[in-house]
Every structure is written in C-alpha cells, then in structure tokens.
A and B are shown apart, each in its own frame.
Chain A
C-alpha cells in the first residue's frame, strides 16, 4: 500500500494538473459524452453539476478507469495517462467514491481497506489496522476499524470509502453524489471534511451534486454538464445559483413558484393520529399526535432517523402501533394493517422507490400491482385494459417510458412518476408521501412537487415526509417536526422558517 505520506501537497488553485481532453463515449444509441474537456486542479473543489443522465458519472468513471472512452485522452501535468483500470487510476493519484459504494458489506472495515493491497499469501491485518488509525487521525475521519460494514450507518460507510481512497495515496478525490444519501447533519460534516481535505491536505476534489446550497458552500470552481456536453466551467464566485440552474436545465423555466395556499381550511380533519406509540428499544415512536384536513399538506420535518421512517411504516401498515389511535374520516381503525388502511383510502409513496416496485416487471405490471383484481378476467389478466390504463397514465404524468419496458430500466425520475401515477390513480383521500424527490434532478423534482400540489388542490390530504427542508417550506401548509420519535412542534407555514424549524429539529426549542 502507498503510504499516506504520499499525498501530494500542492498550492490551492495552482496550475491545472489533470486534463480530460475531448472525451467521447456512447452506449449503443445513447451518446453519454460528446467531446467533453475538463481541467482539474490540485487543492481545489470542483463541483460538477448536471441533471440525471447528463453524463457526470460516466465522465468520472472514465477518469477512474471503470469505463473506457471511445475517443479522447487524459493528461496529467502535460503527460498522457493510460488509465485502463481503477488500479491505474490510483497509481496516478486518483481516487473515487462511487455513487453506490464499493464496499463488501459483510466484511470488516479493516478487511475492506486491506483488499486494495492484498497479496496472495499472508495478509497483515494488524498492520492495516495501525495504518487506518494513523490515517483516521491525520485526516480527521474517525471510523471503527473492527466493525462489519453493513452494521454502520450510511454516513460512516461513506467515511470508510473516503478513508480507503485517501489511504491509497490519492491527490485527487472524486465524490459521486455523496450527499444524496445523507441527512442534513451528515451533509454538513461531509462538507466540513471536504473543506479540510482541500485546505489541509491539498487534495483536489470533484464533487458531483444537484444541490445549489452545497455548491455555494464549498466549491471553488463549477462545471455544468448538459446532455453529455460541458456547457459552462467557471469560478464559483463568478456565477449565481440561478444562472447555474438555467444552464443545467437549458431554456426551460426553472424553479417552482410558491404554492397557493387555502386561507384557512375549515373542513374537519380526515386523518387523525392520537398519542400513537411504537415501543422499541431504540427508534420507536411515542405520543405522536396530529391531524390533517382534506386539501391540506402537512409537512413532516426532522433530522433523518428521528422516527420519520417508523411513522411512514405505521401509516402504511407495515409496523403495528402499540398505543394510541388512528382515525380516518372519523372512524377509528381496529388495527393498522396495509389492507385496512388501503380500504380506508390511505395511499402511500414509500421512501425507497426501488423497494416499492418490482424491477424485473414491466411498467404496466408495476402500475397495477396494487389493484390486480381490478384487471383480472375470468382466466387471465385483461392486458388490453391494463395497457390503455398505463398509456393514459404515461400521458397524464409525462412518464418517459413505454408500457412494456422493464421498470428497472427507467431513470429515477420516471420511476417516481410511475409510482405517483399508481398512488393517485386510486384517488386516495389521504396520501402519505415520503422523500418524493430524493436523488431526482431539478426538472423531475419540480414536476413531482407540482403533482403533489395539484393532488392537494383536488382535495387529497397529504402527509409529506421529507429531509429536504426547502421542499417542505415550499409545499406544506403546516410543518410538524419530529425529534427522537415524537412530534415536538407543529408550525403554520406563515411562521415556518429555516431558523424556527431548525431549532425544533435540533431539539432546542420548547
């Protein structure tokens, strides 16, 4: 293993050190990258922006040797680099944390880090352990060396990945959408790590992200990719967020306007939770009470892991409540099973779109998965009706897919649209919507949010659980904040601000 001391210390914003030149890459018909050139400098945070499918990951995979370009070359300090595998990339001082981590889940942290340097015969796990401890201290990245990776929270797994890359002696570190999987607190500490690596260790960082706020906080330079081409590359302080969004999405209008809110909903509540509790050693719910009226959007805010997931599971019927009551339209539910909730008119959009659908089945099949009986004929499914149902959903929800395509081949945004179409085609009285725009690009995000607003306008009561505070502030009529399994406050949107909600989220206020 290269020693940690091998890190090149270079001055911030020095001469460009890695050039990607005229890179072109096609996957069959799809041109993922067309004639892309990009300069990376040591000691600089280079943000790479672009909608889903713009080609960011492909470009970085080429730099890291995971993928070969059809044409173009990579140069370091004027010398052509031959990068045919991640091993070559690491030898050239380039490290990468891929979007879906490259850790072996049921091995320990030590074993994972030892992998990169494992020889055939004896391995010196004790030696690797010492190196990990030293590198942890040096870079301020604490990890538990003996823990099994799958037992660690995502944020820590990510830290292991970063440490692994740093320990291979990289002087450039590529982070592919590192914040997409993190909650607000973890995002802040990651940004802090990025700053430190740049300033203290002089590491050049490529940060792929969708989120303007993050880019404003740490980027020195910003490049925007659109449809496989670099449409802008400039210093971060020379360009505004608004300009960046326009560059990302092209000519189309961007930014959702504020939702029209009904003055004061006078109708009686349709969904009422009263002192709902779930007993668990850790991470249960206690004394959760709130009510939602038809046409209202109740936002559920909170730092990730404060009971939001459990609340959604209770409302989808997959977790049974141990105390309290749930009422829908004034009728108390005997027990909260998925069937009883569905029958009462409660629909759900789960936080993990991959877990909510069957990847191997077609779009049309996934679309009717929750109402198969409706399309069941005497002997077989009525395919024709299914297809026409699907086609109208595709038109109505602007889904870019054909009915017979496998669900797993859709982009994230289109997956989400299919699931929303499934949810809203039941005309639910109450819609529980969890993390609807996580990992989606700007256009898809705006579209999904407009769908939610539209549903509420038509009288659906919406419970919107989101870790994206801006999303909640944009959509919600009232905001309930969860902290340690309880609702610690409900704030009307007119009084809701980042500050007031933030204090509740941190458990400071009240």
Chain B
C-alpha cells in the first residue's frame, strides 16, 4: 500500500510538471490582461521543435534551447496580433493553436514519419535522491523549486510584476503613470510563452522521448482551467494542479487492478477532466478576472 501511495505521488509530480509550467505561463500572461488560448499550440510547437532539434543535433540541451526559441517566436506573433493589431484574443489564440498543431504535424510527417518511422531521442533520466517520490526529472525539481518561487516573486514582488498587474487591471492608469502598456504586455506574453515552451519540451525531451500526433493531449486547456480554478493566485493554482495530477495518477493505478479490468479505460481516462469540470463549477463563480481581461488598449 505504501508503495502504491508513493508511486501515485511520484507520478503525480511528473504529471503536474508540464501543467504547472504552462499554467504559470498563462498566469503571467493573463495578469497583464491578455488571455492566451495559444497555450496548447505553443506547447505543441515546442514539444516538436525540441525533439526534432535534439534528434538532428544529438543534444537535448540544443533541443531545449530551440524549444524556448520557438515558444518565444510564437508568443511574439501572438503579442503582435493581440497587442499591436488589437485582434480579438480568442480568435488569435485559437488560430495560433490550430496553426502550430498543423505545422508540426506536417513537418513531422515530412521529416520523420514519411517512411513509417518515428522520431526518437534518449530522454533525460530521473535524478534519484532516494525513493520513488524523489526520483524525478531535473525539470520537475526546477519547476517546483525555481519556477514557482520565481513567478511568485515576479508577479508580486518585482517592479515588472507591478507593471504587469497594473496594465492588466487598468491600462489607462498605467499609461498615465508612464508605463508602456504595449511593451509590458509583450513582455508578459513572451515570458508566459517561455514557460509554456518549457512545458512542451518537458513532454518530449523528458517524459516520452518521442513525438506522436496529439502529444499534448489537452494539457494546455487544463492549464487554462487551472488559472481560473486558482483565481489568479499561485497557491490555488498549484492545489488545482495537484488535484488533477493525483486523480490522473490514481486512475492510472486503478487500471492495473484486476477488479477494474472490465471497466472501459476511457471512463477512467475521463476522470481527471471530470475533476476539472467539477472544480471549475465549484470555484469558477465570481472569479476575480483581471479588470482589463480581453481588452486591447489604445490611446485616443
């Protein structure tokens, strides 16, 4: 029993890593008043670019750098569309997701699967500090020990964070205070995209070591839900990520039990998403949206 519990916690941490990273990125972005529905697409793009580069160069580090560059570029495109051009954020975000997914699938087919093969790399291995719980990928340690405190400091302690929150709540006021609204939003979107890119790279370069169609599998959408569930605070966002990952890890263990052999696995697969919906239904009311959520800013 202890073994199973430890196993569940250990795999929860693995599952939670990309969710937490992507949700942190989305949080930074949304705090500036911008909803980035491109999160699924940015993760998809970085997952592919990361592994493709790693496969070509033989270096996982090069793959990670390329994944970050691809995330930043995708973020830049999204920022240009929503901040500079003032394109509707829903449209721009969904468009970005669709674009990234189809670009990557096409490139994957041309580069790797045309002759029936599949791209593969030797992924990062867990670093073992004792026991299954402390046997995790370096990115998992980095996420919870570095990224989480960093985003907390960035948003609530740094000057840039104050500016991000100000342009997200009242861009007019920020403008009057001499803060560049567009510049601040670009910065927030790109920082956010880098976190999303890390999430995508984690999946191919650490978790699975290969790329298949639909590899992100809705994790980006879950990250979006986690930000709302978390009411734009880091603590609650992490609680949400933990709950989702625990249910997910739990259902994976359930599937191994003989008594569940007859239950269609799709039902178990759906459990964590059901948990998201229930969580949102409970906590999603009267949420404190940033004041300028979804609103482009233009000086008259």
Could you list which residues of chain A lie within 8 angstroms of chain B, going by C-beta atoms?
64, 66-67, 85-87, 90, 96, 98, 100-107, 111-112, 114-116, 118-123
Contacts and interface: CB of A to CB of B under 8 A. Distances in A.
Contacts of A121: 158-160
20 contacts: A64-B176, A67-B300, A98-B176, A102-B172, A103-B170, A104-B165, A104-B169, A106-B291, A107-B162, A107-B166, A111-B162, A114-B162, A115-B177, A115-B179, A118-B163, A118-B179, A120-B159, A121-B158, A122-B159, A123-B162
A66 to B, nearest CB: 7
Most chain B beta carbons < 10 A, residue from A90, A122, A123: A123
B62 to A, nearest CB: 29
B178 interface: yes
Contacts of B299: 66-67
Contact of B169 (A66, A90, A106): A106
Contacts of B170: 102-105
Which 7 pairs, one residue from A and one from B, show the smallest C-beta to C-beta distance?
A87-B178, A118-B159, A102-B173, A102-B176, A123-B159, A115-B177, A116-B177
A86 B174 contact: no
A479 B285 CA distance: 45
Contacts of B158: 120-123
B159 to A, nearest CB: 4
Interface in B111-145: none
A107 B165 CA distance: 9
A305 B4 CA distance: 63
Contacts of B176: 64, 66, 86, 96, 98, 102
Given A104-B165, A105-B169, A85 B160 contact: no
B7 interface: no
B157 interface: yes
Contacts of A104: 165-166, 169-170, 173-174, 291
Given A66-B299, A67-B300, A106-B169, A116 B159 contact: no
A85 B173 contact: no
B156 to A, nearest CB: 10
A107 B159 contact: no
B166 A116 contact: no
A364 to B, nearest CB: 27
A121 B160 CA distance: 6
Most chain A beta carbons < 10 A, residue from B165, B176, B177: B176
Nearest to A101: B173
Given A100-B172, A104-B170, A105-B170, 10 more contacts: A85-B178, A90-B178, A104-B166, A106-B169, A106-B291, A114-B159, A115-B163, A118-B162, A118-B179, A123-B162
B172 A107 contact: no
Most chain A beta carbons < 10 A, residue from B159, B169, B175, B291: B159
A148 to B, nearest CB: 12
Contacts of B160: 118, 120-121
A208 B172 CA distance: 20
A115 B291 contact: no
Contacts of A98: 176
A123 B157 contact: yes
Contacts of B291: 104-106
A105 B288 CA distance: 13
Contacts of B165: 104, 107
Contacts of B300: 67
A112 B174 CA distance: 9
Most chain A beta carbons < 10 A, residue from B158, B159, B165, B178: B178
Contact of A86 (B159, B162, B163, B177): B177
Nearest to A120: B160
Nearest to B178: A87
Nearest to B292: A104
Contacts of A107: 162, 165-166, 169
B165 to A, nearest CB: 7
Contacts of A116: 177-178
Interface string B234-256: 00000000000000000000000
Interface in B39-60: none
Interface string B145-163: 0000000000001111011
Contacts of B169: 104-107
B77 to A, nearest CB: 24
A166 to B, nearest CB: 14
Contact of B174 (A85, A115, A119, A120): A115
Contacts of A66: 175-176, 299
Most chain A beta carbons < 10 A, residue from B160, B173, B291: B173
Contacts of A87: 178
Nearest to A85: B178
Nearest to B179: A115
Most chain B beta carbons < 10 A, residue from A103, A104, A105, A112: A104
